[in-house]
């Protein structure tokens, strides 16, 4: 039970080339600047973008191997995605959004809705079941999107900048939800983020991406102690400053 990924993508002058693996239950954070290839990694694992080289193996299931022409479509991968814009279906209630994956698997409407409601309850938003996505706050929408991704019991969870679009107060709240959710999740999770703070807080292992290549890989402690790039070092310094500010402001 694990993830093994060897990813090569050539895409109009941009070249992604990296390999990593993780045991089940581990939370990976992929950090790097804009344009480093973070979203490309995510799209490749989800099956939304074909590899030009390499392979992806999840829990002993071969998702993709270029050499033998194996390529499972996104529908068959069992990889859940929390999209950056959440991608909630605007014309459906929160409940039907969550039930969508079960309905797509042929579960009848009644059962699918009952199970979707149970998932909304788990995230403490059951009372919002009948609302449309545009009637939800950022934090509420995030919970609905998480429930929608998890209800089909994916073998892996990909989260694209899950905290980027939220205001400061909601970030703290959603980060807590994410920590609990990812902690309880049996498969591998991969969080894409440009905030080193989120990576330090949530991840067991941090992957640092630069120009489509992996430049560092290690525990949050290791990465924080010896950042491999100037950009990472600057991010860490800024993170420490804001954290110290925050701690300082809390002192009497």
Partner 1 sequence: MTTHNSNPPARAQGWGHYLLIPLALLGLALFVIPLLGLIARAPIAELGVVLRSPAVGAALRLSAVVSVAAVGLSLVLGFPIAWVLARFEFPGRRLIRAVVALPMVLPPVVAGVALLTALGRRGLLGPLLESLGIELAFTTTAAILAATFVAAPFLIIACEAALENVDRELEDAAATLGATRLRILWTVTLPAIWPSLLAGLALCWARALGEFGATITFAGNFRGRTQTMPLAVYEALQTDHEGALLLSLIMLAISLAILFALRGKLVRR
Q: Where along the sequence are the contacts to partner 1 (CB under 8 A)?
A: 46-48, 73-75, 77, 79-81, 83-85, 87, 89-91, 100-101, 104-105, 148-149, 152
Q: Which is nearer to partner 1, 20 or 83 (CB)?
A: 83
Between 72 and 228, CB nearer to partner 1: 72
Using the minimum distance from each CB to partner 1, give the nearer residue, 43 or 163: 43
Min dist CB 151 to partner 1, Å, is: 9
Q: How far is the CB of 145 from partner 1 (least distance, A)?
A: 9
DSSP 8-class letter at 130 = T
Nearer residue to partner 1 within complex by CB, 84 or 217: 84
Q: How far apart are CA 148 and CA 114, in angstroms?
A: 13
Closer residue to partner 1, CB minimum distance, 149 or 163:
149
Least Å distance, CB 78 to partner 1, is 9
Closest CA to 93 of 128, 119, 126, 131: 131
Min CB(70)–partner 1 separation in Å: 18
Could you tell me if 181 and 161 are in contact, meaning their C-beta atoms sit under 8 angstroms apart? no
Dump the DSSP string for 142-194: HHHHHHHHHTT--SEEEEESTTTTS-HHHHHHHHHHHHHHHHH-SSEEEEEES
Q: Reading across the β-sheet that carries 53-58, which strands appear in turn?
A: 70-71, 61-65, 53-58, 2-11, 14-23, 213-218, 205-210, 27-31, 188-193, 156-160, 79-82
Provide the β-strand partners of residue 217: 207
Smallest gap, in angstroms, from Cβ of residue 200 to partner 1?
28
């Amino acid at each position: 039970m694990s993830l093994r990924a060897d990813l090569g993508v050539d895409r109009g002058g941009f070249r992604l080339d990296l390999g990593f693996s993780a045991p089940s239950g581990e939370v990976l954070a992929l950090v790097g600047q804009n344009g480093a290839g973070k979203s490309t990694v995510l799209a490749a694992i989800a099956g939304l973008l074909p590899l030009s080289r390499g392979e992806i193996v999840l829990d002993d299931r071969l998702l993709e191997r270029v050499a033998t022409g194996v390529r499972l479509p996104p529908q068959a991968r069992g990889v859940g995605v929390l999209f950056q814009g959440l991608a909630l279906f605007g014309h459906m209630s929160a409940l039907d959004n969550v039930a969508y994956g079960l309905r797509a698997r042929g579960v009848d409407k009644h059962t699918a809705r009952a199970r979707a409601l149970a998932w909304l309850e788990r995230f403490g938003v059951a009372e919002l079941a009948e609302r449309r996505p545009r009637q939800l706050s950022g934090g509420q929408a995030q919970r609905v999107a998480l429930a929608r991704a998890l209800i089909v019991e994916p073998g892996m969870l990909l989260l694209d900048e899950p905290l980027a679009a939220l205001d400061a107060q909601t970030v703290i709240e959603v980060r807590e939800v994410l920590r609990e959710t990812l902690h309880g999740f049996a498969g591998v999770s991969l969080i894409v983020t440009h905030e080193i703070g989120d990576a330090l807080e949530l991840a067991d292992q941090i992957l640092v991406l630069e120009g489509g290549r992996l430049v560092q890989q290690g525990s949050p402690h290791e990465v924080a102690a010896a950042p491999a790039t100037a950009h990472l070092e600057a991010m860490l310094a800024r993170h420490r400053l804001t954290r110290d500010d925050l701690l300082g402001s809390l002192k009497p």
